[in-house]
């Protein structure tokens, strides 16, 4: 939707101001991450670090086994995102477009699982993983499987995709079915391509949740080699004190992949949408 040039300049100005408000705390974190410990709370407060130091980032990468944590986070988060996008979209399609007995009741039951805080499931789930690990060592507690499995599907994701998929016109699906395509074929060839913007959105939110997850990795891992990044970074906080500079460096380092993923995905889901929906006349 292109607005008139005068409107656009006013809009840009407003958005710039608003963006600044959104971004200021993050900029403060960025600035702090380059300060010496003694300067973090220097009085009067200074925005620009002086002296500028990369020591905190060095701390982050050397005081903890950073590469290992980073790789773990990447593997765990990547797998969770892939599993969620594929299976979540497939299920969402069924809930959105297919009819089968009990569909709405099952959907509501799935929704119920969102209404219980994770802390409640923590102990039974952990116990399950512990027993599983004893029975089948490669699975269960303290393994990638243990880290990934509980988040492998997300009802939130299904709910999200169901909304997006509802807007796909039934006629397209019907004509494909009449042409003899199986439901899976329909899913693969027609639905998935049209759902790409929604899937990109889902990918972003799933990535966000999985990358920053703290409580489950804390409980389910016991070896240092299995820890994820947020967990590893928490250890940089000493008892009763915080090295703010290093903690902020850790924050920035954790947020960076997220920002990159968002930048990559946002083009896809926002730019790509208009193409799909409009073609068939709405």
- Phi/psi for 99 (5° steps) reads -110, 130
User: Which residues in the 152-171 window bind another protein by CB under 8 A?
Assistant: 152-153, 155-156, 158-160, 163-164, 166-167
Give the separation between CA 84 and CA 153, rounded to whole angstroms: 5
3-state secondary structure of 241: coil
3-state secondary structure of 214: coil
User: Which residues in the 18-77 window bind another protein by CB under 8 A?
Assistant: 18-20, 22-26, 28-29, 37-38, 41-43, 45, 63, 72, 75
Binds another protein by CB under 8 A, chosen from 46, 54, 137, 189: 137
Site membership for another protein, residue 210 (CB under 8 A): no
- Quick one: 49 or 149, whose CB is closer to another protein? 149
Give the separation between CA 126 and CA 131, rounded to whole angstroms: 9
Q: DSSP assignment of 219-237, as one string?
A: HH--SGGG--HHHHHHTTS
Binds another protein by CB under 8 A, chosen from 57, 66, 251, 253: 251
- Quick one: 54 or 225, whose CB is closer to another protein? 225
Site membership for another protein, residue 226 (CB under 8 A): yes
Residues touching another protein, count (CB under 8 A)? 140
Shortest spacing between CB 198 and another protein, in angstroms: 7
Shortest spacing between CB 43 and another protein, in angstroms: 4
Binds another protein by CB under 8 A, chosen from 176, 190, 196, 234: 234
Site membership for another protein, residue 182 (CB under 8 A): yes
Q: DSSP assignment of 91-147, as one string?
A: HHHHHHH---TTHHHHHHHHHHGGGS-HHHHHHHHHHHHHHHHHHSTTSSTTSHHHH
**Relative orientation angle of helices 55-62 and 66-97, to the nearest 10 degrees:** 80
């Amino acid at each position: 939707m292109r607005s008139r040039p005068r409107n656009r300049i006013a809009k840009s100005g407003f958005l710039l101001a608003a963006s600044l408000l959104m971004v200021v705390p993050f900029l403060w974190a960025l600035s702090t991450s380059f300060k010496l410990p003694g300067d973090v709370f220097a009085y009067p407060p200074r925005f620009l670090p002086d002296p500028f130091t990369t020591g905190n980032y060095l701390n982050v990468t050397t005081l903890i086994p950073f590469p290992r944590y980073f790789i773990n986070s990447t593997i765990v988060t990547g797998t969770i995102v892939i599993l969620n996008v594929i299976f979540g979209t497939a299920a969402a399609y069924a809930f959105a477009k297919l009819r089968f007995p009990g569909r709405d009741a099952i959907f509501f039951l799935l929704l119920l699982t969102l209404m219980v805080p994770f802390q409640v499931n923590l102990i039974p789930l952990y116990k399950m993983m512990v027993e599983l690990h004893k029975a089948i060592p490669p699975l269960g507690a303290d393994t990638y499987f243990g880290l990934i499995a509980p988040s492998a599907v997300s009802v939130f994701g299904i709910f999200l995709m169901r909304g997006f998929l509802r807007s796909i016109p039934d006629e397209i699906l019907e004509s494909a079915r009449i042409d003899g395509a199986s439901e899976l074929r329909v899913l693969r060839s027609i639905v998935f391509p049209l759902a790409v913007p929604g899937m990109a959105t889902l990918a972003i939110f799933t990535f966000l949740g999985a990358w920053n997850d703290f409580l489950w990795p804390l409980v389910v891992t016991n070896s240092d080699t299995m820890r994820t990044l947020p967990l590893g970074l928490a250890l940089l906080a000493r008892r009763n004190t915080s090295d703010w500079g290093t903690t902020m460096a850790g924050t920035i380092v954790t947020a960076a992949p997220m920002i990159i993923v968002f930048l990559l995905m946002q083009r896809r889901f926002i730019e790509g949408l208009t193409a799909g929906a409009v073609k068939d006349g709405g």
